[in-house]
Amino acid sequence: MARPEMLEQIYTVVAQIPPGRVTTYGRVAKMTEGATPRMVGSAMRKLPDGSALPWQRVVSASRRLADHGGAPRQRERLVAEGVTFDAAGRIPVTLLWP
């Protein structure tokens, strides 16, 4: 079940990502006790569009945008923050948030 505490902790971790940096689903899951990458993805999917949560800063472990309907919008929001993409559409390792 989606325990509210865990969901809130996921939101807290995501909210702590600095602007211009990104992190991966696995990292968020590891920082959240009892969570798995799938749950992080589910949590993001459930978010309303106008959410203040910086969901765009969560990317897949290969440093690409996850494959979902809002991916183009996510890429635009990241670029607007100053996140750069290389020719292969990957985010530089230096932008990863530990």
Partner DNA sequence: GGTATGACCATAC
Partner DNA sequence: GGTATGGCCATAC
Applying CB under 7 A, the residues found at the interface with DNA are: 1-2, 24-26, 29, 34, 36-42, 44-45, 47, 55-56, 58, 60-62, 66-68, 70, 74, 88, 90
Of 9 and 60, CB closest to DNA: 60
CB 38 within 8 Å of CB 2 = no
φ and ψ of 25, to 5 deg: -60, -40
Smallest separation, CB 40 to DNA (Å): 7
- Residue 86, token pair as written in the block: 């290389």
Q: Report the nearest approach of DNA to the CB of residue 71 (Å).
A: 7
CB of 57 to DNA, least distance (A): 9
Query: Could you tell me the CA-to-CA distances from 43 to 23, 72, 83 in Å, in that order?
Result: 15, 19, 23
Q: What are phi and psi of 79, to 5 degrees?
A: -60, -40
**Identity of the residue, 62 or 82, whose beta carbon is nearer to DNA in the bound complex:** 62
